[in-house]
Chain A
Amino acid sequence: MKILKTYPDRCIGCLVCEAVCSETYFQKPDAAKSAIRILEDDTGAADYRILVCQQLGDCIAVCPAMAIRRLKSGVVTINKKKCVGCYACVGFCPIQAMFTHPDEIVPFKCIACGKCAEQCPTEALEIVEVE
C-alpha cells in the first residue's frame, strides 16, 4: 500500500510541506489545516519530528458511522458525507495523525497524494509502496 515515508534526519523545518498540504486541500496555506506537521523533536534523535498518517487504519474500526475506509491503493480516507464528526478517530489514532480545525466539522488526514514530497527541498518525504 501507498504511504508517505518520512526521513526526519533530513528535515530542515522549512514548513513547505505544511503550506502545500493546506493549500491543496483548504485553498490557503495554514499550518493548522495541514495533514502533515513538523514538530520539534524532544527525543534528541533529530532536530524535527514529522507527524503524518502512516495508513495504519486503526480508525476504520472505531468510526461509528462507517465513514472511514481503505481504498484499493491502501490509503485510508474519510467520507465527508457519512462522517458524524465524533472525533473518535482523532482520539484513537495511535500516532495522533488525525487532525481537526475549528472551521471544519470533519477531521482530516494525509491521503498520501505526495504533493508535499514533490516540493520538499531536502527529500525528507517520499511516497513509497509498503506491504
Chain B
Amino acid sequence: MNRAELKVLAEFDYELGQVEKGYTGRTLYVNVSDNTIESRPVTPEMKEIFVGGKGFGLWRLWHGVTSDTKWNDPENEIVISSGPLGGTTTYPGSGKSLVVSISPTTHSVMDSNVGGHFGPLLKFAGWDAIELQGKAQNDVIVYVDGMQGKVFIYEAPEGTADTHELAERMVELFADSEAEKVGISSVTAGSGAEHALIGCLNFSLYDERRQGIRVKQAGRGGIGTVFRDKKIKALVVKYLGVKGNSNHPADKSRIDRVGIKMHKEIHDNDPVQCRMRHRGTSYLVQIMSDYDLLPTHNFKYGGHPEARRINGDVWEARFRQGLPDGCWYGCTLSCSHTVEGYTVRTGPYKGRVVRVDGPEYETIAGVGSNCGIFDPETILEINFYCDTYGLDTISFGTLTAFVMECYEAGILDQEKTGGLDLRFGNGDAAIELLHQIARGEGFGRIAGQGIRRMKQIFVEEYGADPQFLQDIGMEAKGLEYSEYVSKESLAQQGGYGLANKGPQHDEAWLIFMDMVNNQLPTFADKAEALHYFPMWRTWFGLCGLCKLPWNDIIPEDNALTEEPAKVPEHVQNYVEYFVGVTGRQDVKRGEDLVRMSEAVYNFQRVFNLRLGFGTRQHDAIPYRSMGPVTAEEYESRAERYDQQLRELVGFDPTGKSTAEKLAALREYRQAQYERLMDAVYERRGWTANGVPTLETLRRLRIDFPEVVAVVQQHL
C-alpha cells in the first residue's frame, strides 16, 4: 500500500513558520472523535511559567479534562511536547519528548520522558506540542507533514499494531525516497496495549547505519493503553533538514561552547567512568548488586551472586559496538544500544531475526533479577516482546515479581494461573505470562491490570491476606516501582513515595548520598535533598532534555567541588545553554532553573488534587520499600537489622523472636517515614496534608483562579 491509497478522514493546512528561540509559538490540537484539527497559540505566560515539555503538556491537559475525567473518557488527552531546548544538536541529551495523560493505573496525571526523534521533528515541523483528544471509531493514523505544512487523519490500514513491524511500515509509507527515511518518526504502541493497562508508547528514529528503525519507550503509567483506547494506531511526523541552528537560538555561540566542552568531556571521561558508550545503563547492574540495591525476588533482597551473568560486561559483549547510539543527534553519551540479529524463540514472531532495543538497566533488573531470572536470553526475549506489544518493561517486571512471590507464598497456584508455574527464576513461565497479558487471556488478563488491581482481586477472590499483599505489592499511587531497593535509604523512600506520578526514580535518586556517603544525616538534610533534586530533575522534562548527561558523566574535578552530587559545572552549563537558546534575561544561576520546575511541580501536585489524589494518604508506600516484611528477609540481613535495633531503636534484640524484631523495626521505620513526610512537606511549602499553600502558589505565580479553587477545598 502507498500513501495515496489511504483514506483521508481529515486534512488541515498550516503555515510552516519558523522556530524562534526554541519555540514555534503554537501547539497542534487533534481530536480523533470528530476529526477537528486546529492550531492553538502558545502564550508568553505559558513560556514564562510552564517553559515547555511537561509544563506545556500539563497546562494543555488541565484545560482539556475535568475533575471527573477518567483515563478512557474521550476527553482524556495525550499531549506530547519536547521543549525549548529539544532538538538542539550541539549539547548531548537534547532530543527528548515529554508525554502526559491521565493514567489507567493511577487514574491521575502521568508523565513520561522518552527519546526518539518525534518531539524535535514535530517542533521543526512547526509545533511545540501535539494534543490528542477524542476516541476514533476505527483505527486511525495521525500524520504531520512538516515539509508540506499539512496534517492528516487517515483511516489506518489493516495489519498488526505491534511496533517492530508497524514503525518500519510507517517509514516505508511516509518516506518518498530512501533519503527521506531519516526524516520520519512515529509513535506507536502495540497489541498488548489494547489488552493491558500497562501499555507504553514507542518513539522511533530511523538509523541510517542500521538501515532500520530503533525505538525508545515512554513506558510509565499506561499511556500506550490510552493511545490504543483512542484507536490511534500511529502518530507520524515528517521533517527533513535538521541543522545546528534549527532552534534559532538567541545566542548559538554560548551553546556551542558548553556543548563542545561536553563532547570532549565524554570523549575523555566516559571510558574511565560509566562506559555508557559501550554498555549504556547496564553498567549499573553490578554496582547495584554490590551495594545491596539490585531488586531481587520482588525486592526482598538487594543483590545476588548470579547478577554477574547479567551485568554490564555481558551486555557490552552483546551490544553492537562503535556506532553513534544516541537517541537524538549529538548525544555523544550514546547509551541507546541494541542487540542485533536476535532470533525470537517463542510467541507469534518465533523464528524471526530481530533487533532488540536495549536492554537498559531498568529492564535487566525488572524482568531479570527481580524475577530471579539471570539468563540474558530470557531478558532479551521479554525486552523484545514488551516493546513490540507496547508494554512497559518496568511494570511488567515488577508485577511479575509480585505474582511470583504470591505464587511461592501459596496465594496463587497452578489452578489460578492456568498452569503457569510462576516460581522465581522460571523464565519460560514469565515469557508465557507476557504473551497472555498481551492477548488479554488467561491469568494474563488479571496480571495486565497491574499490581493495585491484582491485590484487590487476590483478596476478594482468593481470600489472600490484604495486609501481606499491601506490604509486598511494590506499587504506590497505582504505579509499579522502578528498580531500586530503597530499604536502607529513608531519603529514597521519600524519593519514590513523594513523586508526583508514582514511584519512578526520575524525580530523585538519593541512595548513594543518603545511604552510602551519609551526606544527609538529618531530616532537614533529607528534606532539602527531596526539595532540590526532584525540582532539578523536573527541569530536564520542561526543556526536552535527558538527565543522563548531567550526572552519568562528570568533570574530572567534580569531587573537589562543594556539592559534588549537584555536579555544579554541569548546572552552570545548563544555565548557559538555556539562556543561549531562549535568551531569557531572568535566568542567571542554577536556582533560577530550579524555580521554573517548582512552579510546574506544584502545578502537577494540584492537578493530582483536582483528580481526587495528591494528599498525604496518597504518598503512602508499601512496607517492602521501607524494610523487611518476612522472616526470611530479616534473617538474610539479621546482623544489620539487629544492630539497627540496638543502636537506633533502643531495642535489645537478644533472645527476641524474629517476629518481635520485625515488629520493632517496622514501628521505627514507619515512624521515620512519617517524620520525613512532615519535613519534606514543610520544605516544599505544603500543609501537613501535603497540599501546596496559597502562599506557595502565589510565590510560584501559579495562583490562577482555577488552581486556587482546587487547593482551597483542601485547606
Contacts and interface: CB of A to CB of B under 8 A. Distances in A.
A and B: real partners? yes
Contacts of A102: 252-253, 256
Interface stretch (B318-326, B615-623, B629-637): B318-326
Given A86-B90, A87-B90, A88-B330, A64 B324 contact: yes
Contacts of B245: 85, 105
Interface of chain B, helix or strand or loop or mixed?
Answer: loop
Contacts of B326: 64
A91 B331 CA distance: 12
Contact of B262 (A62, A63, A91, A100): A91
A88 B332 contact: yes
B324 A63 contact: yes
B267 A84 contact: no
A65 B244 contact: no
B329 interface: yes
A78 to B, nearest CB: 12
A65 B266 contact: no
B354 interface: no
B327 to A, nearest CB: 10
Contacts of B260: 87, 90-91, 100
Nearest to A58: B267
B256 A84 contact: no
Given A84-B244, A84-B329, A91 B89 contact: no
Chain A's interface size range is 10 to 19
B256 A100 contact: yes
Contacts of B48: none
B439 interface: no
A87 B330 contact: yes
B243 interface: yes
Contacts of A64: 324, 326, 329-331
Contact of B263 (A61, A84, A87): A87
A7 interface: no
Contacts of A91: 259-267, 332
B208 interface: yes
A87 B245 CA distance: 12
A110 to B, nearest CB: 18
A92 B256 CA distance: 14
Interface in B300-359: 322-324, 326, 329-332
Contacts of B262: 91
Interface of chain A, helix or strand or loop or mixed?
Answer: loop
A80 to B, nearest CB: 10
Contacts of B330: 64, 84, 86-88
Interface in B367-392: none
Contacts of B90: 85-87
A56 interface: no
A65 B263 contact: no
B480 to A, nearest CB: 33
Contacts of A84: 89, 242-244, 329-330
A18 to B, nearest CB: 20
Contacts of A62: 324, 332
B209 interface: yes
Most chain B CB neighbours (cut-off 10 Å) among A61, A66, A87, A88 = A88
Contacts of A88: 263, 324, 330, 332
B322 A87 contact: no
A88 B326 CA distance: 11
A63 B331 CA distance: 10
Given A86-B259, A87-B330, 12 more contacts: A63-B324, A85-B89, A85-B243, A85-B245, A87-B244, A87-B260, A88-B330, A91-B259, A91-B266, A92-B264, A105-B244, A106-B244
Interface of A: 61-66, 83-88, 90-92, 100, 102, 105-106
13 contacts: A62-B324, A62-B332, A64-B331, A84-B89, A84-B242, A85-B245, A86-B329, A90-B260, A90-B263, A91-B260, A92-B263, A102-B253, A106-B244
Interface of B: 89-90, 182, 208-209, 242-245, 252-253, 256, 259-267, 322-324, 326, 329-332
Task: List the 8 closest pairs (A to B, CB-CB), nearest first.
Answer: A85-B244, A91-B263, A86-B330, A86-B89, A105-B244, A91-B264, A64-B324, A84-B329
